[in-house]
């Protein structure tokens, strides 16, 4: 149905580069020298992997039995308030179960105090514990409940730091129960901190990276001499910033703002600004000019052109890059904790320094799970958005 | 000649790299014409189209649309004029991630306040008009589909519906069927022909295939290396003219 024009092409001439055998031999010799030197300078010694295996055997063994769950004795606990000075604390609301009453709720150290317990399990060993405002505890007297589940202790008020205390009676019940271990609890909260550390670092980075990315997009900036020079300055600054590892940045920020998650947030943010701005600006550079042309041709204003032709092209990839960056930052924040950047890495390095390998294993497994979960989540989001 | 829909006088475009894309081009398109522009790739067809609505600034020469000198308009006046010039592209130029309906509505942007863009607001009657225009091109059921989910032919029909939203007096169609297969080409060109006949919209359409130009064009101009080498009626292009336009070595090929 249609006519087409054809012109006969001349046969193509493909020049074939000549490889000389002696060049190949020289290349191979050069490579051999490089790798022999490399082997020597990095002190590669494969034999050590076998002969010294016993050194890491405990580590490997503890890695497969992390400290997550612990058998703890079942307890009955009753508490009541006590003050060394001032007014008597308000009486506690009456609750079902074991109850603790003191003969006086305000007293000085050395004065006699009668502690009365009732409603406990009969004939079980127990322990009085003094807990101060900060939560630290001191062991008091031991006791045993009678066949009615009661006990009475008369003892002098101990000389303790702090003004407000809680007196706690803990009675051990027969049998044990399975609870999350202390290490597991610590790791859990540090992992939460890690995820949020990465989130804050990423968010701060986005706020700076979005405007900077427009300055680093060649198609927008290379229209005037000033724009071109801004483009090169921005790109160079980004490349330099990006080449500094967040680990090094975290060390610097830990000195600056102190050890803790804030130093980690700053280190991740600074590094992420550079990487995100580069990714964003490459995205801006690669947008299809077609829709811009089409929307302009309808008589739309500049704002409308940006809203209907530019934004739809850049926002989904921006979201995808950002989620990916968050994923990377979660992974990185597990490491920067080791140099004082907060998060779970900080805990891990403490466990390692204390040779608590089972607890360290808990942290390692926690990191593995959270990183894998973030990886999956970010992949799923990216698939939906793009 | 007064009262022409489009009048181009001594239009020349030289790109910064020295390429002379248009060289002293003059022609007239009467109201209601289906003017086809033919010529090899690189002969200046696209540049000519874009000089008419100043997506590309001409180096010299004049363009008149309904006797308004386009080349003399200020930026805000140009925007108002562009509303009346629909444009259809070879690559459709839809916003791929947006819905078909949003793409069609975007044809109306020149008529609505810019602030509406912030919330993507369009009044109900405009949405109804958009659906009506989608019905005209036979794909109302695709309104809420993402534009990149459509086939090439369907995307070009969205492009036509977008141009219809502008209520245009002139349509510039830059090789609207060059990315489509022969059967789809005909269905798309029939919609453009219908706009031309039913709504009396003047059409300037660049085409590759001479047979399509003969079938749809009421008048033809031919460009070669930025110069007009033929102006006339479809029937006037014989073997001799053909070789002048496409070169001595060219052979007219029947495809389907």
Would you call A5 and B250 a contact, using CB atoms and an 8 Å cutoff? yes
Lowest average pLDDT, out of B52-61, B220-229, B232-241, goes to B232-241
User: Which is it for strands A125-132 and A137-144: parallel, antiparallel or unpaired?
Assistant: antiparallel
For residue range A208-256, what is the model confidence (pLDDT) as tens digits? Answer: 999 999 888 888 787 778 888 999 999 999 999 989 988 899 999 999 9
Q: Which pLDDT belongs to residue B130?
A: 95
Task: Report the SS3 class of residue A94.
Answer: coil
Q: Which pLDDT belongs to residue A380?
A: 87
Cα dihedral value A195, A198, A204, A206, nearest 10: -100
Domains of chain A: 71-180 (2.60.40), 183-385 (1.10.3720.10)
How much of chain B, in percent, has pLDDT values that exceed 90? 70
| Tokens of residue A292, six digits | 């811009």
Read off the pLDDT of each residue in B71-92 and give the average, rounded to a whole number. 93
Mean pLDDT of chain B: 90
Q: Which pLDDT belongs to residue A12?
A: 62
Burial of B185 (0-12, 13-18, 19+ CB in 10 A): buried
Does residue B184 surpass a pLDDT of 60? yes
For residue range A174-200, what is the model confidence (pLDDT) as tens digits? Answer: 888 888 888 899 999 999 999 999 999
Read off the pLDDT of each residue in B211-215 and give the average, rounded to a whole number. 88
Q: Which pLDDT belongs to residue A103?
A: 87
User: Which is it for strands B6-14 and B85-88: parallel, antiparallel or unpaired?
Assistant: unpaired
Contacts of A259 (CB under 8 A, 6+ apart): A340, A341, A342, A346
The conformation of residue B24, written as its DSSP 8-state character, comes to E
**Which residue, among B43, B9, B61, B51, has the nearest Cα to B208 in the 3D structure?**
B43
Would you call A296 and B82 a contact, using CB atoms and an 8 Å cutoff? yes
Would you call A291 and B79 a contact, using CB atoms and an 8 Å cutoff? no
Does residue B256 surpass a pLDDT of 80? no
Residues B70 and B62: their CA atoms lie apart, in Å, by: 7
The partner residues of A117 in beta bridges, in order of sequence, read: A100, A151
Residues B80 and B68: their CA atoms lie apart, in Å, by: 12
């000085």: which residue's tokens?
A108
Residues A107 and A311: their CA atoms lie apart, in Å, by: 71
- Cα A224 to chain centroid distance, Å, stands at 44
Q: Which pLDDT belongs to residue A209?
A: 94
**Which residue, among A338, A316, A334, has the nearest Cα to A375 in the 3D structure?**
A334
Does residue B249 surpass a pLDDT of 80? no
In chain A, residues with a C-beta closer than 8 Å to the C-beta of B250 are 5-7
Question: How far away is chain B from the Cα of A200, in angstroms, using its nearest Cα?
Answer: 27
**Which residue, among A149, A152, A165, has the nearest Cα to A97 in the 3D structure?**
A149
Residues A382 and B3: their CA atoms lie apart, in Å, by: 55
Residue B255 has its nearest CB partner, among A2, A293, A313, at: A2
Lowest average pLDDT, out of A169-183, B151-165, B193-207, B218-232, goes to A169-183
Q: Which of the residues in chain A have pLDDT under 50?
A: 1-5
In chain B, residues with a C-beta closer than 8 Å to the C-beta of A318 are none
CB A333 within 8 A of CB A196: no
Burial of B17 (0-12, 13-18, 19+ CB in 10 A): exposed
Residue A298 has its nearest CB partner, among B82, B89, B96, at: B82
Would you call A313 and B97 a contact, using CB atoms and an 8 Å cutoff? yes
Question: How far away is chain B from the Cα of A286, in angstroms, using its nearest Cα?
Answer: 14
**Which residue, among B121, B113, B106, B119, has the nearest Cα to B166 in the 3D structure?**
B106
Residue B253 has its nearest CB partner, among A6, A299, A308, at: A6
Phi and psi of A210, rounded to 5°?
-60, -55
Contacts of A106 (CB under 8 A, 6+ apart): A82, A83, A84, A85, A86, A87, A88, A89
Question: How far away is chain A from the Cα of B26, in angstroms, using its nearest Cα?
Answer: 22
Handedness of CA A270, A274, A275, A279 (dihedral sign): positive
**Which residue, among B41, B145, B68, B70, has the nearest Cα to B102 in the 3D structure?**
B145
Task: Report the SS3 class of residue A192.
Answer: helix
In chain B, residues with a C-beta closer than 8 Å to the C-beta of A297 are 53, 55, 82, 85, 87, 172
CB B27 within 8 A of CB B51: no
């510039």: which residue's tokens?
B172
Half-sphere exposure of A184 (CA within 13 A, CB side): 10
Domains of chain B: 1-84+170-180+202-251 (3.40.50.300), 93-167 (no CATH)
Residues A192 and A343: their CA atoms lie apart, in Å, by: 8
The DSSP result for A202-246, as a single string, is HHHHHHHHHHHHHHT-HHHHTTSHHHHHHHHHHHHHHHHHHHS-H
CB B48 within 8 A of CB B22: yes
Residue B53 has its nearest CB partner, among A3, A290, A297, at: A297
Cα dihedral value B45, B85, B160, B254, nearest 10: -20
The count of CB pairs under 8 A between chains A and B is 123
CB B34 within 8 A of CB B189: no
| Tokens of residue B36, six digits | 């086809």
Does residue B211 surpass a pLDDT of 50? yes
């Amino acid at each position: 149905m249609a006519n087409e024009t054809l012109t006969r092409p001349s046969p193509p001439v493909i020049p074939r580069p000549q490889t000389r055998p002696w060049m190949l031999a020289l290349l191979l010799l050069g490579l051999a020298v490089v790798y022999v030197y490399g082997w020597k300078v990095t002190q590669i010694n494969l034999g050590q992997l076998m002969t010294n295996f016993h050194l890491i055997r405990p580590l490997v063994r503890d890695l497969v039995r992390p400290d997550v769950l612990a058998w703890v004795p079942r307890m009955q606990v009753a508490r009541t308030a006590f003050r060394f000075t001032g007014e008597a604390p308000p009486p506690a609301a009456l609750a079902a179960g074991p109850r603790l009453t003191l003969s006086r709720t305000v007293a000085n150290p050395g004065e006699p105090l009668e502690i009365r317990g009732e409603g406990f399990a009969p004939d079980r060993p127990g322990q009085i514990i003094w807990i101060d405002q900060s939560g630290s505890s001191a062991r008091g007297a031991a006791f045993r409940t009678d066949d009615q589940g009661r006990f009475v202790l008369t003892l002098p008020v101990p000389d303790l730091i702090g003004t407000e205390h809680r007196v706690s009676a803990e009675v051990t019940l027969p049998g044990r129960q399975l609870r999350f271990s202390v290490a597991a609890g610590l790791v859990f909260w540090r992992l939460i901190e890690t995820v949020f550390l990465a989130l804050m670092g990423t968010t701060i980075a986005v706020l700076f990276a979005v405007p900077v990315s427009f300055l680093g997009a060649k198609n927008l900036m290379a229209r005037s001499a000033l724009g071109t020079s801004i483009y090169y300055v921005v790109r160079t600054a980004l490349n330099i910033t990006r080449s500094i590892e967040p680990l090094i940045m975290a060390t610097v920020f830990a000195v600056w703002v102190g050890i803790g998650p804030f130093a980690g947030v700053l280190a991740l943010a600074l590094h992420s600004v550079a990487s995100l701005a580069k990714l964003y600006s490459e995205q801006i550079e690669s947008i299809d000019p077609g829709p811009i042309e089409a929307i302009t041709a309808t008589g739309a204003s500049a704002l409308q052109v940006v809203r209907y032709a530019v934004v739809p092209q850049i926002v989904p990839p921006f979201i995808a890059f950002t989620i990916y960056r968050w994923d990377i930052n979660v992974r990185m924040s597990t490491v920067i904790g080791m140099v004082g950047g907060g998060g779970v890495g900080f805990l891990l390095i403490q466990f390692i320094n204390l040779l608590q390998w089972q607890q360290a294993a808990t942290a390692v497994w926690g990191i593995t799970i959270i990183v894998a979960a973030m990886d999956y989540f970010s992949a799923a989001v990216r698939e939906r958005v793009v | 000649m007064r009262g022409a829909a489009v009048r181009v006088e001594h239009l020349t475009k030289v790109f910064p790299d020295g390429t002379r894309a248009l060289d002293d081009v003059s022609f007239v398109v009467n109201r209601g014409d289906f003017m086809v522009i033919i010529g090899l790739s690189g002969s200046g067809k696209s540049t000519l189209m874009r000089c008419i609505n100043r997506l590309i600034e001409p180096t010299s020469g004049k363009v008149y649309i309904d006797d308004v000198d386009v080349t003399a308009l200020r930026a805000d006046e140009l925007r108002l004029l562009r509303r009346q010039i629909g444009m259809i592209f070879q690559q459709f130029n839809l916003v791929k991630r947006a819905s078909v309906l949003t793409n069609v509505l975007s044809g109306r942007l020149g008529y609505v306040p810019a602030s509406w863009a912030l919330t993507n607001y369009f009044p109900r009657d405009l949405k109804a008009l958009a659906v009506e225009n989608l019905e005209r091109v036979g794909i109302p059921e695709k309104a809420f589909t993402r534009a990149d989910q459509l086939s090439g032919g369907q995307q070009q029909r969205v492009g036509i519906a977008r141009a219809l939203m502008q209520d245009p007096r002139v349509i510039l169609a830059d090789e609207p069927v060059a990315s489509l297969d022969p059967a789809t080409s005909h269905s798309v060109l029939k919609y453009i022909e219908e706009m031309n006949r039913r709504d009396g919209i003047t059409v300037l359409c660049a085409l590759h295939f001479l047979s399509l130009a003969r079938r749809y064009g009421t008048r033809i101009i031919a460009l070669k290396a930025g110069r007009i080498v033929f102006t006339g009626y479809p029937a006037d292009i014989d073997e001799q003219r053909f070789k002048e336009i496409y070169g001595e070595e060219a052979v007219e090929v029947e495809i389907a």
